[in-house]
Structure 1
Amino acid sequence: MKNIFPSILFIGLFIQLVGCTPRYVFSPEEKTAAVRILMNDGQVNMCRDGKLYSLKIDHETGKALIPAGKRVALLKSVQYSGYQTTFSCYPRIGFTPRDGETYITDMNLIGNRCLLELVKENDSTDSSVELEPSLGQADCFRR
């Protein structure tokens, strides 16, 4: 008989991280930024002021609106399984979005680690992106 505990654990974690996570509700005058999410598997969550929210991603543009002006963290839950192997990681990144800016985030697997990368769109540069100076640790849950 198969051991179903890992499957039950994964389903419980998935429901907790995605299924029960509320969407962020913007106030009428709240400033916003956009984040284009290049990794296309699963949900990306945002943490702000110690609270976790799911992001509503426009599937045509790949963008989600996020609140601007205060530090946020973007979080991703990743699980891959193959022949006799299972891999999971939970990359996160923190930054302070600025009103009207568009950011690009992508996830990479390097060896046995995964990470989120984030840059800001800037059409005046040769690459059309630039480093985000506020980029740093995702410290949303610290007290």
Structure 2
Amino acid sequence: MLSLTRIALLPLAVSLALSGCTAFPVYQPAANEPTAPLKVSGWGIITFKYCVIESDKSRQQLSIDDKTLTTSVPAGKPIMLNAYRASSGYQVVHYCNARLNFTPKAGNTYVLNSGMVGEGKCFVELVREDLSTDTGLVPEPSVEPGSC
């Protein structure tokens, strides 16, 4: 039987895990690995995992440059991006996890936006830069709901 201390600490442990206070290994591209720039808008912890490697259940955190808000993702392989977010208010913590799949291409620059739209509800969206358009952005056709 669990001791009272363990029972009392269980909600705290669950809260920390859900709030993004867990550590993921930071993605470091291998030498000569093709990558694509990813600009990040919003806040939270952004991680990814490969979709093509069924045995790969691990996620890697993306290191986002504080000045440019840009990181790199591996190109040429389907990946799933996750945006973990937590927001606290009066005696309550709202947590959400939004994800999407896409296949980055070397030479393209992507923009990831994420945010909270309500208590525990969040979104994640991805577009591709295309300076030939009026807005400079176009929908990324390879985006699918995150499920891998």
- What is the TM-score normalised by the length of structure 1? 0.83
Equivalent in the alignment of 1:47: 49
- Higher Cα Rg: structure 1 or 2? 2
How big is the shift at 1:67? Answer: 0.5
**Local SS of the residue matching 1:77:** strand
How big is the shift at 1:5? Answer: 4.1
Matched, 1:66 2:69: no
Equivalent in the alignment of 1:89: 96
Q: Which runs of 5+ in 1 are unaligned?
A: none
1:32 is aligned, of 30, 35, 40, to: 35
1:11 is aligned, of 16, 19, 41, to: 16
Tell me how many residue pairs correspond in the alignment: 134
State the AA in 1 paired with 2:16: I
Identity among equivalent positions (%) equals 31
Equivalent in the alignment of 2:140: 132
CA deviations 1:93-119 (Å, max 9, x no partner) are 110001021111111333442110110
Equivalent in the alignment of 1:115: 123
The answer to which of 45-54 and 117-126 deviates more is: 45-54
Q: Which runs of 4+ in 1 moved over 6 A?
A: none
Supply the distance in 1 between the matched residues of 2:31 and 2:90 (Cα, whole angstroms). 50
- What is the TM-score normalised by the length of structure 2? 0.80
**Local SS of the residue matching 1:90:** strand
